[in-house]
A and B are shown apart, each in its own frame.
Chain A
Amino acid sequence: AQSVTQLGSHVSVSEGALVLLRCNYSSSVPPYLFWYVQYPNQGLQLLLKYTSAATLVKGINGFEAEFKKSETSFHLTKPSAHMSDAAEYFCAVNDPTNNDMRFGAGTRLTVKP
Chain B
Amino acid sequence: NAGVTQTPKFRILKIGQSMTLQCAQDMNHNYMYWYRQDPGMGLKLIYYSVGAGITDKGEVPNGYNVSRSTTEDFPLRLELAAPSQTSVYFCASKGGREIETQYFGPGTRLLVL
Which chain A residues have a beta carbon within 8 Å of chain B's beta carbons? 4, 9, 32, 34, 36, 41-46, 49, 51, 90, 94, 96, 99-101, 103-106
Contacts and interface: CB of A to CB of B under 8 A. Distances in A.
Interface residues of B, number: 23
Given A51-B100, A90-B43, A101-B45, 13 more contacts: A32-B100, A41-B107, A44-B104, A45-B104, A46-B101, A96-B100, A99-B31, A99-B50, A101-B33, A103-B42, A104-B42, A105-B40, A106-B42
Interface string B42-60: 1111001010000010000
Nearest to A52: B100
A96 B99 CA distance: 10
Interface of B: 4, 31, 33, 35, 40-45, 48, 50, 56, 90, 92, 100-107
A43 B105 contact: yes
